[in-house]
Chains A and B, each alone.
Chain A
Amino acid sequence: MTARRPAVLIVDDSPLVTDALGVLLEASGYTTGSATTVADAVTALRNERYDAMLLDLTLPDGDGLEVLGSAEEANLTPPPTLALTGHDDPATAARCREAGCVAVLVKPVRRIALLGALQAAGVAP
């Protein structure tokens, strides 16, 4: 019997990003799903069990962090969430932490940093 591979939901408005991170994570032992909007992300959390979520802050239908609030409103428990942001300013990082993100990764995210952050969040294959 093989152990279940950890599942990561990748939320980003650019399919280029979700595709690239998907290939990277799947080659590193994870399974992945993707969403490009807040609504799609909440639906994905409702329909699948994810062990972690990578969350872009700018989505077409709202602030990425709204996914966390919307999931809780729908009685879903969001998995450990790592924010993806283009900004390295302290205000953005604080906002992500306050919303419940366990880590804040600044784009462009290097492979080692991403895998290290997932491992630090307790999500490793």
Chain B
Amino acid sequence: MLRPLAHSQHTPLTATSGDADTLEARLGALESQTGEATRLIAELQARDRLKTQFLANISHDLRTPLTAIITHAEILGDGMLGELTERQHASVSGIIKGGRQLLAMVGDILTYARGAADQLALVPSTFALAPVVDQMLALNAPVAERRHVTATAELTPDLPPVIADREKLSHVLNNLFGNALHFTGLAGGGRVWVRAAVEGVDDERELHVEVGDTGIGIAPEHHDLVFREFAQVDSSTSRRHHGTGLGLAIARNLVELHGGRIWVESALGQGARFHFTIPQPLPPVTATHAAIMRPDPDAP
């Protein structure tokens, strides 16, 4: 049970009377309060670790039945057990779509929890960025069309192969791009773009990616807030986005795992430009970070 700090902490710590006993008593009280505060901090940190582990466990356990539901629905939807009528197919498609959406959200929570518990490992490789971006554009093309959004990619022609964890870089790109599409769609349509270049020289080289849009924008006072977990900027307006509120917190986590930075430039009604950088090559600290990662022994 957490106990509040003793209210005597507000007693002024001054001794004008020269009364050594009083001063000693107050110092003693201060030491006691400091000890209590230290104990309280340790207890809160322990509870935070428990919460994170609980999140990882529960989200992991949710995936098993959810995956089974989706697999069964896909078997039916693909006609592997017999042809479906059009209405049956539409219904099964709804189960698959909803299931995949839920699975993605559970996956986000699991990624966040593992990141918070330092259980995410980088798997760096050298690869061309263009196919990753092209695949993302192709996957999102139907959504972009439906939302009247024009999506483009501008990669510098001499962009060299990049060094990063391909899957995690792709996760960050897809998250930023998905947000850009969503909030541009809410603005009634417009443009979203991805720009990428390797900037700097020698040890200062870094991959710089910009995902921009002409959507509804974010007020400057909320720029830091959007990268915090469970944050939804201005929940009273159309900026509200149905989701876990973890997408950008995870993106920040994954970029920082690479030793990079992520930030946003935006104003309300003026679109948004999300930027992130990844050092080229990756700093040694990320290799060390990866080396100390350990798999969750309780997970299959």
Contacts and interface: CB of A to CB of B under 8 A. Distances in A.
Nearest to B291: A91
A99 interface: no
Interface string A5-22: 000000011101101110
A86 B300 contact: yes
A20 B121 CA distance: 30
A88 B60 CA distance: 13
Interface stretch (A23-31, A37-45, A74-82): A23-31
Nearest to B297: A58
Nearest to A56: B300
B72 A87 contact: no
A92 interface: yes
Contacts of A24: 71, 75, 80
Contact of A86 (B60, B66, B68, B121): B60
Contacts of B72: 20, 23
Interface string A39-66: 0000000000000000011100000100
A91 to B, nearest CB: 6
Given A107-B300, A108-B63, A89 B121 contact: yes
A48 B167 CA distance: 39
A84 interface: yes
A31 B67 CA distance: 21
B172 to A, nearest CB: 16
B300 A85 contact: yes
Contacts of B68: 14, 16-17, 19-20
A57 B300 contact: yes
Contacts of A87: 295-296, 299
Interface residues of A, number: 29
A90 B80 contact: no
Contact of B80 (A27, A58, A86, A109): A27
Given A58-B298, A86-B300, A111 B65 contact: no
Contacts of A27: 75, 80-81
Interface string B63-95: 111111011101100101100000000000000
A87 B299 CA distance: 8
> Which of B64, B123, B293, B299 counts the most chain A CB atoms within 10 A?
B64
Given A56-B300, A89-B123, A91-B294, 19 more contacts: A16-B64, A16-B65, A17-B64, A17-B67, A20-B72, A24-B80, A27-B75, A28-B80, A57-B300, A58-B298, A86-B60, A89-B293, A91-B295, A92-B295, A107-B300, A108-B63, A108-B71, A109-B67, A111-B75
Interface of B: 60, 63-68, 70-72, 74-75, 78, 80-81, 103, 121, 123, 167, 293-296, 298-300
Interface of A: 12-14, 16-17, 19-21, 23-24, 27-28, 56-58, 64, 84-92, 107-109, 111
8 closest pairs, A vs B, by CB?
Answer: A58-B300, A108-B67, A27-B80, A16-B68, A20-B71, A20-B68, A89-B121, A86-B299
